[in-house]
Chain A
Amino acid sequence: MPSRPMNWKSVVIGLGIVVLLLVAPLFLSRFYIYFLALILVTGLLATSLNIVLGFGGMYQFHHSVFYGVGAYSVALMITKTSLPAFVGFMVAPIVSALLAVVMGLICVRLSKLYFGMLQLSLGSLVWALVFRWYSFTGGDDGIHGIPLPSIISSINTSYYFTLIVTGICLALMYAVTNSPFGRIFQAIRDNPERSESIGVNVKLHQLVGQCIAGFFAGIAGVLFVTVEGSVFPDLMFWTLSLEILIMCLLGGWFTFLGPMLGAAIMVSLRTVVGVYTEYWTMVLAIILMLLIYFLPEGVLGYFLEKIKAHGSGVLREER
């Protein structure tokens, strides 16, 4: 069967990437390490969005609000309280998850576009609050120069921290999408009415999905703080939400690792094309248009479709 060697191949490719990422700080300059860390953080964020978008079929139009809230929670915990930073690291994702539950409770009654719009307005509400609450969040300036624990304050250690946490989160999310919960979630995506009629509590599952996605987005927010050392309201502006939506689409939103690939493509494009021309968004826009025109399944989705691989569960999720 052709599926066997593919499985083997993808394991080798996966291991190769992991090893490369592990040894990268030995021979790459500071800038590229930062760049890799940014890809990992953005990729984690996009993957967390894809749990509800690709696997749950929910139009999550404003996902970056959980990312921003996670980042702001940890930044505020470090700068405003005397608690150890790692407590902040633990609490921030929980704050994001709680917000996701609260927003989810309001939104899950609706579906598709209406869900997305209510989510967008609630997220914008949070953004507007953060944007204007100068005395607490620093308003549109944000918070800069957040003191990090010394163990992760150098670029290499923060990179390894990001790499390890991202790896663990990806493994956890993969487990979630392949758990019974994940299967039901996909069933809801494909046919909510039929799921409902066989006794699945659709709204509850969607709410739990929101909570999980919000939690991991919060972790991505924490990692952003460890990489960047600052937070600003753009972290939860709706344009970022659309950008990560595009990453999911670009990589392939019916695959598990697609969003990660999409994030890598977007962040690299911005950095590489940005070196040559300040008009990098135009290049991105044209690439996007071509992709939507010709590869509606996304890059990874397209290649998987071509290869028709079935063996590797990591790369391919059955639709």
Chain B
Amino acid sequence: MEIAANITLSALAQQFLVGLSRTTILFIVSSGLSLVLGVLRIPNVAHGSLYMLGAFLCYSISLFFGGGSTGFWMALVLAPLCVALISLAVERGLFCHLYDREHLMLLLFTFSFMLLFKDLVKLVWGSDYRSLSAPEILQGSFSVLGMPFPRYNLFLLVLGPLVALGLWFLTNKTKIGKIARAAAVDREMVAAVGINVSWVFAAVFVIGCFLAGLGGALVAPTQNITQGMDHTLIMETFLIVIIGGLGNIWGALLGALIFGLTDSMGVLIWPQFAIVFPYVAVVIVLMFRPKGLLKATW
């Protein structure tokens, strides 16, 4: 067991960047979950399945357009949109009738969706894993303090803050964002001033699911696309949303940073138990700030 044997500055820098790119994926997915939890109060366990669906769709759409760079860019745009469409159908068809049920019931209802999506993915794509290569411009790596760092991860690092800014703009500067924030606090009052809350909720749900699909599509070139890739991710995103503060976009960013960095730094400190570190961090945060680090909308 080699503990702390290989910590050098360059390894530290490399792991830091790896952690940051992991953070980007975690942030994109968990900000969507946070939005849905904060505004609609649905603990959507199927969020991870939408992420998985995004990854599989990204693979298939990319093949449909002949693979390569064009295929990938098309897939990156279309796959999250397809996920958003599916979620729109689900929301309008089923969820919108269940908003006043107990949280536990909603949790179980979304869990049944998770089961459904799991088998649908198996039905359509089979049980083999798939892999997708990044477009040529993002292949290869460059060196950071003498250690190689993949170009694709740099792309993720650029995209993450853009998504964060976009979400901030959407929730704070647009009309629908303002209505959604108001509805999160008091939905009866918002309905009373003549706004159709139901459609605002649908829009928020769809945006949240779009982000899950986007996360899945973005992660597709970096890892094997498999069934069950949603299992650990959904738990991680839930914990991220909780430690960040329910419904708070910046909280999701902070939580994702904590999760991604403790994970990647854990690899340096104690590789065998690297997956334990984020959970320790979460427990410590929750012990001192049970309602999350930043202000929750609940």
Residues on A lying within 8 angstroms of B by beta carbon are 59, 106, 109-110, 112-114, 117-118, 120-122, 124-125, 128-129, 131-134, 237-239, 242, 245-246, 249, 278-279, 281-282, 284-286, 288-289, 292-293, 296
Which residues does chain A contribute within 8 Å of B97, judged by CB atoms? 293
Interface secondary structure of B, over-half rule: helix
Chain A binding surface, main DSSP class = helix
Q: Contact check, A279 vs B108: say whether CB atoms are below 8 A apart.
A: no
B125 lies within 8 A of chain A by Cβ: no
The answer to whether B122 touches A292, judged by C-beta atoms less than 8 angstroms apart, is no
Contact A132 B272 (CB under 8 A): yes
Q: State A284–B276 Cα separation when bound (angstroms).
A: 32
Using A249-B108, A292-B109 as known contacts, say yes or no to A125 and B279 having CB atoms under 8 A apart.
yes
Let me know if A285 and B115 touch, CB within 8 A.
yes
State the Cβ distance, B102 to closest chain A Cβ, in Å: 8
Q: Which residue of B has the minimal Cβ distance to A126? A: B279
**Most B CB atoms within 10 A — which of A110, A286, A289?**
A289
12 A-B Cβ contacts within 8 A?
A112-B103, A121-B242, A125-B279, A246-B108, A282-B115, A285-B112, A286-B116, A288-B108, A288-B111, A288-B115, A292-B109, A293-B98
- By beta carbon, the residue of chain A nearest B103 is A113
Q: Which residues of B contact A114 (CB under 8 A)?
A: 242, 286, 290-291
Inside 8 A of A117's CB, which chain B residues have their CB?
238-239, 242, 286
Query: How close is B246's CB to chain A, nearest CB, in angstroms?
Result: 8
Closest to A110 in B: B290
Q: In the complex, which residues of chain B have a beta carbon less than 8 angstroms from the beta carbon of A239?
A: 231
* Closest beta carbon of chain B to A288's beta carbon, Å: 4
* Contact for A285 among B105, B116, B291, CB less than 8 A: B116
Given contacts A118-B283, A128-B275, contact A242 B111 (CB under 8 A): yes
| Chain B residues within 8 Å of A, Cβ to Cβ | 43, 45, 94, 97-98, 101, 103-105, 108-109, 111-113, 115-116, 118-120, 122-123, 231, 235, 238-239, 242, 272-273, 275-276, 279-280, 282-283, 286-287, 290-291
CB <8 Å contact, B123 and A279: yes
Closest chain A CB from B92 CB (angstroms): 15
Among A112, A134, A292, contact of B108 (Cβ-Cβ < 8 Å): A292
B286, closest chain A residue (CB) = A118
Q: Which residues of B contact A131 (CB under 8 A)?
A: 275
Contacts of B286 in A (CB 8 A): 110, 114, 117-118, 121
Task: Give the residues in chain A near B108, CB-CB below 8 Å.
Answer: 242, 245-246, 249, 288, 292
Q: Which residues of A contact B115 (CB under 8 A)?
A: 281-282, 284-285, 288
**Roughly how many angstroms separate A293 CA and B120 CA in the complex, as a whole number?**
21
- In the bound complex, do residue B112 and residue A120 qualify as a contact, i.e. CB atoms below 8 Å apart? no
> B104 and A59: CB pair below 8 A?
yes
Determine whether the beta carbon of B283 is less than 8 Å from that of A106: yes
Q: Verify A118–B290 contact, CB threshold 8 A.
A: yes
State in angstroms the CA–CA spacing of A164 and B104 once bound together: 33
Taken together as a complex, chains A and B put the C-alpha atoms of A133 and B276 apart, in Å, by: 11
